[in-house]
Homo-oligomer: A and B are copies of this chain.
């Protein structure tokens, strides 16, 4: 199988996407091709053997072929005669974290051009990338969420109890997120959060809360789960920790929470994944408070695809690639327009 890794994009997580994509070289033994979307949303085909992080920061990537979307795939103008060529691959892995990749932009484009891809479809992207919409959705599928308040830029924001956690609604990887311990710290953290987004949510911050991650997918109607991991936590993710998270390839350690909680986490995952997330491999991060499971967030395109949580990620990847959801067929037969013509006597 030939896999096209589509990464980068107009996103605050652009660089994390580069790290995550380079890691895939060690994770997938298949033939890979790399399609990089730069900050101007120009697309370049980067030869796999040339991939390294310096290529991007130096701007050197611009010397490679420009690619573009077209029905059925990606194309480039290349070769001696500057002719249009289609770029050969079997499936796209959308590895653009944050904006473009996770907010539904790329999924929409891939869908429009009828390009097979692994990632949530547009609706699932929106539901998981906007934390406010996630909360409403989780409640609708009977999954617990922590209390929260939603604010947009010009709202009057009142916080009575501290500590709280302030989050821009649309960013992942802890960008713009702050734990606020007192009224004095609030204004600054709001300024930071609104720097990244026009809307935020504020949640109570529960110190030392237990977090558990579960990744999974659905193949032919059956769920396939990873192990459950209790991730290492730091109050803030520093540079090293974040780098390690997105370039992670070595297997994680399974945690056993007992039958009841293990089961509750898996059932919550199933209700969230539902039919909406078909075609994707996602990681759900849960809190456990007083033996009750709460959704923290849905990572619709997790760092390095959460490969480290699965026993055989490559096999799983192939299964998903071979059972991607199909769009409903829509026959356009102009029956209705014909009736109008008859009605009008045209």
**Interface residues, chain A, CB within 8 Å of chain B?**
10-12, 14-16, 18-19, 38-39, 41-42, 52-54, 56-57, 68-71, 99-100, 103-109, 111-114, 122-123, 126-127, 130, 132-133, 135-137, 139-141, 150, 152-154, 196-199, 221, 239-240, 243, 274-275, 327-328, 330-332, 334-341, 343, 346
Contacts and interface: CB of A to CB of B under 8 A. Distances in A.
Interface centre among A42, A132, A327, by most chain B C-beta atoms within 10 angstroms, is A132
Contact of A140 (B122, B126, B127, B135): B135
Contacts of A106: 108, 112
B340 A19 contact: yes
A145 B249 CA distance: 46
5 contacts: A15-B332, A15-B335, A57-B341, A105-B111, A109-B112
Contacts of A152: 274-275
A105 B122 contact: yes
B336 A15 contact: yes
Contacts of A150: 140-141
Contacts of A274: 152
Contacts of A68: 70
A125 to B, nearest CB: 8
Contacts of A275: 152-153, 198-199
Nearest to A196: B328
A133 B122 contact: no
A99 B137 contact: no
B18 A337 contact: yes
A104 B122 contact: yes
Contacts of A123: 103-104, 126, 130, 133
A14 B334 CA distance: 9
B53 A341 contact: yes
B57 A338 contact: yes
Q: Which of A113, A122, A196 has the most CB of B within 10 A?
A: A122
A197 B336 CA distance: 20
A263 B122 CA distance: 34
